[in-house]
Structure 1
Amino acid sequence: MSVPAAESARHDPYAALRIPDFRRYISARICLTLATRIQGLVIGWQIFELTNDPLALGLIGLAEAVPSIGVSLYAGHLADSVKRKNIIMATVASLLVCAVALALLATPAGLRLLTRNALATLPLYAVIFGSGIARGFLGPATFSFMPQLLPDRQNLANAITWNSTTWQAASVLGPAIGGYLIAHLGVANAYSVAAVLLGLALVQFARIASRPLPAMEGERPDLKTSVLSGIRFIWSNQLILAALSLDLFAVLFGGAVALLPIFAADILKVGATGFGHLEAAPAVGSVLMAVSLTYFPLRRHAGRKLLWAVAGFGVATIFFALSTNFWLSLFLLFLTGVFDSVSVIVRSTLLHTFTPEHMKGRVSAVNNIFIGSSNEIGSFESGTLARLLGVVPSVVFGGTMTLVVVALTALRAGKLRRLDMTPETPETPEGAR
């Protein structure tokens, strides 16, 4: 893959942040991410306290993934057919309603609906299901709206890196804040803080000027043609397909995050505050790696580095499962974030670089099915295996399967293995595709 010559002439690490609407977008994303990370941590802790069942934790992911996957393809079509800001405003408002509902369910009156019977947690799962629908529409809209905020493509790579960096930074703070709120202010107040942050995100998105849909040749396709064109685009591009598949299976098998309440409470015995630190550790690693990539962009032998990074993710996951020391576990989770950040940035760069502007909603929707929901489905897989095999063996199995996926990808996806993102490399435009 080649990088435009203008990018290599003079690298300004703050170029995208000099654009006012991009700054507003980043601010809104920070508030949104803080809110969802706090909410995700709190609901995991609450449901585990109510049920003491690892499968119940896995069902949280399933309850969010099923609706998100179900609406994704239509959401992608909508993001390429309707002004993207309108979709963002509607979906963030819906997430705000869900956060308020969770806060109400955590009040004394709401808690009377929730007992230690797993079925009585259905109101919580119903809210999660609703938020899954909203997030299914939000993903394609934000992905395709962000490049429209840039005057030209010269700053696209820098914007992608800052988008990832700030998302990871908010992901660091979110779990730590959530753990503190649970320990000192209670579940209801933690949900209320998430609701306030979503309100702030809504205000920041409202301040961004709306953009028209990107121009395209001919008439806009009907729903069926539109949806199928997004799938065909990814299926025909070996580089993007291989990168998505690698990330999908790595997250699906290698994620131990869904079981962190059990590690915190039963294995490491560090309570709610320690749980928040464990949740934050991967994001700390991710944000530090993302910041370093802002100053030192990943270019030469990017494909090989991606494969080694995902392999490192699998190894760190295996050792985390076997650790009984809190500080070692924290460090290993930190490493999973470092390795994951490489994958996120390479994949995002490939998607934004090769996807035409008028198709970004549909391509992002397919990406959401591959990646965005793999975390939730991975949570369900982790919870199910933890119940069948035990917590530690299930995480070891997941890390091992990640290594298997990396080996198969390295053997089968030659274009990804040879991917080079060095500026003005003459052989890469053809080779990358």
Structure 2
Amino acid sequence: MPHADPHAPDFLRHHRPFVLYWLARVLFSGGNQIKDVAVGWQVYSLTGSALDLGLVGLIQFLPRLLLTAVAGDMADRHDRRKLAVAAQLLQTLGLATLAIASAGGFISRELIFAIVLVLGLAQTFQMPANAALLPALVPLVALPRALALSASAMQAATIVAPALGGLLYAFGAPLVYSLTTALLACSTLCLMRLPDVHVPRTLQGSAWERFVEGIRFIRQRRIIFGAISLDLFAVLFGGATALLPIIASELLQAGPWALGLLRSGPAIGALAMALWLAHHPLRRSVGRILYASVAAYGLSVIAFGLSTNLWLSVFFLALGGATDMVSMVIRQSLVQLQTPDDMRGRVSAVNSIFIGASNQLGEFESGLTAAWFGAVPSVLLGGAATLVVVGLWTRLFPQLMQADTLHDAPDTARN
């Protein structure tokens, strides 16, 4: 465990392993966001189907649903750095294939879906390995601040990357996919330079039994369970990312550059909030702050659905990104601070299912409801459903509302 002074204001800036980890996150997130813009616009251009946009999210989620038990177990038994590197290399090859297929003129809906499936498979193994790796790179007392700075890496890239992807798409999909390939390759090189923090572990039972142990660990801690399930359903219903190509092209009457701006919107607010939380960590009333932030997220989604102005839409998306960042930092801090190291891979794997369900499965839900009712009604219904979830969770998880700090929350209450 590193021994840098966690109270020094510039310790993270001078902590080389964390800087490499942070840079890897910037590059990976930037490439991933550019890829999402290209895939979304290309699929909609090829098919004109809102349902197909939703299927992109569902296809990415399926490997996580089926293989998370194996991925979490591997993250606890094997070198997490090497596992993350292997997963990113596979994603780099998948993006290179999209670049070649687009340049060669043999790109198709089916090929995009196949590559998206491969990317989802790789991310299934990458997420628990990456999440469990961070606590080994910084002192645990500094983990909430490190999580905020790590999240700021993703959001900083997300501000620039989608807009850049939308602008570059005017020059063709091959250029966009080539850029994403290069960014992921550089991110992988940064991960390869991280120190070896692997601790050999001998775990009892089968992979499935160990995964169930991770589920039981979360289930028995009502505050952790309440926090991650609240985020799951809020983003599952309230997320409108899959519908942004439709909003940009039909409601706002704009091109891929507007799609890039819309995708950058949440990151603008999220980055501002992440930087604030990195310098002003949450100390008290974290449960009440969590519920308030998720409710504000739902309201921002409704406001976005009612907007017909591009810049106003970007503003409401930024507001949603800021409130979602508060939820993310609280949730991740609770999970990492209150989980033993030998279980972090499995617990992070379970958490990744919740994240994947809220993001990728949420995209499918958005596409499906948009196909039934239209894009704008789908967004409005999602925002309203988020507010309903907040109301229900205050009754189902009163322990979460009462949580005061991230470190000493009374999370051992059982059913």
Q: TM-score range by the shorter chain?
A: over 0.9
Is 1:37 the counterpart of 2:33? The answer is yes
Pick which of 296-305 and 330-339 moved more.
296-305
AA aligned to 1:134 is A
Match of 2:120 in 1: 132
User: 1:65 is matched with which residue: 55, 61, 67?
Assistant: 61
Check the 8 A contact 2:144/2:329 in 1, yes or no.
Answer: no
AA aligned to 2:396 is R
AA aligned to 1:194 is T
Shift of 1:14: 3.4
AA aligned to 2:283 is R
AA aligned to 2:119 is S
CA separation of 1:422 and 1:130: change in aligned 2, threshold 3 A: closer
Shift of 1:28: 1.0
Pick which of 205-214 and 61-70 moved more.
205-214
Match of 1:171 in 2: 158
- The 1-side partners of 2:96 and 2:406 are apart by 47
Taking the TM superposition and a 5 Å limit, the aligned residue runs for 1:305-320 are 305-320=289-304
User: 1:340 is matched with which residue: 305, 310, 324?
Assistant: 324
- The 2-side partners of 1:366 and 1:381 are apart by 21
- The 2-side partners of 1:154 and 1:247 are apart by 24
SS at match of 1:74: helix
Pick which of 280-289 and 64-73 moved more.
64-73
User: 1:79 is matched with which residue: 50, 75, 87?
Assistant: 75
Check the 8 A contact 2:236/2:357 in 1, yes or no.
Answer: no
Taking the TM superposition and a 5 Å limit, the aligned residue runs for 1:192-231 are 192-213=178-199, 219-231=203-215
Check the 8 A contact 1:15/1:158 in 2, yes or no.
Answer: no
In the superposition, the TM-score normalised over structure 2's length comes to 0.95
Match of 2:239 in 1: 255
Check the 8 A contact 1:28/1:200 in 2, yes or no.
Answer: yes
Taking the TM superposition and a 5 Å limit, the aligned residue runs for 1:304-383 are 304-383=288-367
Check the 8 A contact 2:220/2:412 in 1, yes or no.
Answer: no
Is 1:143 the counterpart of 2:135? The answer is no
AA aligned to 1:146 is L
- The 2-side partners of 1:377 and 1:195 are apart by 25
Deviations along 1:325-378, whole A, 9 cap, x unmatched?
112111111111011000000001001110100100000110011113320100
Check the 8 A contact 1:213/1:358 in 2, yes or no.
Answer: no
- The 2-side partners of 1:90 and 1:11 are apart by 34
Check the 8 A contact 1:416/1:432 in 2, yes or no.
Answer: no
Is 1:266 the counterpart of 2:253? The answer is no
SS at match of 1:107: helix
AA aligned to 1:171 is T
Match of 1:19 in 2: 15
Check the 8 A contact 1:260/1:278 in 2, yes or no.
Answer: yes
User: 2:174 is matched with which residue: 184, 188, 193?
Assistant: 188
- The 2-side partners of 1:334 and 1:10 are apart by 31
Deviations along 1:363-415, whole A, 9 cap, x unmatched?
01100111133201000000000010111111111110000000011122111
SS at match of 2:196: coil
Aligned residues: 411
Check the 8 A contact 1:214/1:358 in 2, yes or no.
Answer: no
User: 1:286 is matched with which residue: 254, 257, 270?
Assistant: 270
Q: Which runs of 5+ in 1 are unaligned?
A: 1-6, 115-120
AA aligned to 1:177 is L
CA separation of 1:12 and 1:206: change in aligned 2, threshold 3 A: same
- The 1-side partners of 2:195 and 2:205 are apart by 26
Check the 8 A contact 2:244/2:259 in 1, yes or no.
Answer: yes
Q: Which runs of 5+ in 2 are unaligned?
A: none
CA separation of 1:244 and 1:107: change in aligned 2, threshold 3 A: same
Shift of 1:219: 4.6
Check the 8 A contact 1:214/1:357 in 2, yes or no.
Answer: no
Is 1:155 the counterpart of 2:151? The answer is no
Deviations along 1:212-266, whole A, 9 cap, x unmatched?
2266xx7544313211110100010100100011000011000111100000000
SS at match of 2:106: helix
Check the 8 A contact 2:146/2:278 in 1, yes or no.
Answer: no
Same amino acid, percent of matched pairs: 37
AA aligned to 1:164 is A
User: 1:94 is matched with which residue: 65, 90, 94?
Assistant: 90
Shift of 1:12: 4.0
Match of 1:4 in 2: none
- The 1-side partners of 2:304 and 2:54 are apart by 19
- The 2-side partners of 1:305 and 1:197 are apart by 36
CA separation of 1:86 and 1:10: change in aligned 2, threshold 3 A: closer
